[in-house]
Amino acid sequence: MRDLVFIIFFAIILFISFRKPFIAVSIWLWSGIFVPIYWLYGFAEAIRYNVIFAGSAIIAYAFYKQKPSVHFDSLFFLVLIFFLHTTITTSMTLIPPSVSWIIWDNFFKVILLFIFIYLTVRNINHFNLLIWIIALSIGFFALVEGLKFIKSGGFHQVHGAYGHILGDNNHMALAILMALPLLIYLISYTPEKWLRIGLIGLIFVCVLAVLGTKSRGGFIGLLIVGAYFWVKSEKKLLATVGFAALSFIAIDLLPDKWFERMETIQTAESDGSFATRLVSWKIHTLMALERPLIGGGFRAPQYGYIWRDLAYDFDKLSFIRSAPPGDKGWAAHSIYFQVLGDHGFVGLFLFLMIIILAFLKLSSIEKYFKGHWQSKLARMIKVSLTAYCVSGAAVSMAYFELFYVLLAMIICLSTLKKESQMQINTERITAL
């Protein structure tokens, strides 16, 4: 029954998506993050929804007569250069090419979505639809898991669907943190009172869900996001009361083991999880030192035989105290070391330049559109990126779809800024 209802819904949405490219792109994003097959158990499970919606977006854009204007943007081309670099590293990978190209193919789909968001999204309704899609995907995961966490009295381990990129509790915490500022933005631009109340409730559950992941990186990210909103809040007394109420509920709900785990942040050097991360960071650095321009290719450093080869030079980084590397390969556990090991120092340089340029553009957009929705959205995206950069330092999420969606939204906002400037210049010339 569930599959039949979903297929009917799928057919209706698909029909609508062919009429408006930005709708097709939004549904493409939803199918990529939500991944419907994780919630279906019958005949509808075998359908590749993401591919179908991607195809509908491409076709809709190709035949759409009122295509938005496209302007040169440095961030857009920097992302494409980074992708081109990953293509080169994949062609020279150290692991079986069949494996590496599968990972590259998944990243290509992310970049393709990034490109089509840039090509189609221009006005406030387009942006709001994208953000609602994020709320209906990551927000849905957080709501379901957060309610389980509350019902269990704080003992449920919050995570995404098994097999999903958000199946890991740390990944889930990062995704929720990135979505939280966007949900807060929606409150300001949602006229329906009951929807605003629903969003406030969702944000409340999302915060508890982050705590329920028991992710230390997620907890640090949550503190930073919370501190930002308190500093920027114009109603600090109300914000303080809200934070205090939420903290009281969380303290009452969270078990003693949660507090014991968070206390290990102060003694990270003696913690087994941190020790594993440190070893992995050193191995990924050794990979970059061996092949500084191209690294080892997607996930190469974590393959056992490559890991063991790199471990022979482990003493080169002996000035950083850590446990021995062992024989088993581990994931990078950091977006920065992940890119470093996968794509070398060149890849890391491009990745960092993308992040830096994104923040610079957001500051410029926020200042230029001060008092307007573009400024508010730029400010919230900046918080999302901050959460990604902070909590991402401890998880392997360098190719996470939502990060590139945010980059595409930044470029679209930058395009609106350029068009506004061009219009002002035209009006001045006309006036002369």
> Model confidence over 52-67: pLDDT tens digits?
889 999 999 999 888 8
Decide if 215 is inside a domain.
Answer: no
The confidence band for 1, taking pLDDT boundaries of 50, 70 and 90, is: low
Question: pLDDT for 265-288, tens place per residue?
Answer: 665 555 557 778 889 999 999 999
Domain count, the chain: 1
Decide if 59 is inside a domain.
Answer: no
Decide if 21 is inside a domain.
Answer: no
Residue with structure tokens 């730029």? Answer: 378
pLDDT at 234 over 70: no
Q: What is the mean pLDDT of residues 333-339?
A: 96
Decide if 301 is inside a domain.
Answer: yes
Select the more confidently predicted residue: 45 or 197. 197
pLDDT score, position 265: 66
Decide if 427 is inside a domain.
Answer: yes
The confidence band for 235, taking pLDDT boundaries of 50, 70 and 90, is: low
pLDDT at 255 over 70: yes
Length of the chain: 432
pLDDT score, position 127: 96
Decide if 233 is inside a domain.
Answer: no
1 SS3 class: coil
Decide if 344 is inside a domain.
Answer: yes
pLDDT at 345 over 90: yes
Q: What is the mean pLDDT of residues 312-331?
A: 84
The confidence band for 432, taking pLDDT boundaries of 50, 70 and 90, is: low
Question: pLDDT for 387-399, tens place per residue?
Answer: 999 999 999 999 9
At position 286, the amino acid (one-letter code) is: L
Q: Which domain holds residue 320?
A: 75-119+267-432
pLDDT score, position 29: 94
Question: pLDDT for 353-370, tens place per residue?
Answer: 999 999 999 999 999 999
DSSP string, 230-272: HHH-S-HHHHHHHHHHHHHHHHHHS-HHHHHHHHTTTTGGG-H
- Mark out the alpha helices in 152-215 (DSSP H runs): 169-188, 193-212
The confidence band for 425, taking pLDDT boundaries of 50, 70 and 90, is: confident
Residue with structure tokens 């950069």? Answer: 389
Q: Give the DSSP H/E element, type plus range, for residue 117.
A: helix 97-120
Q: What is the mean pLDDT of residues 218-222?
A: 88
Nearest to 108 by CA among 79, 83, 82: 83
pLDDT-above-70 percentage for the chain: 95
Decide if 275 is inside a domain.
Answer: yes
- Residues 27 and 50: their CA atoms lie apart, in Å, by 9
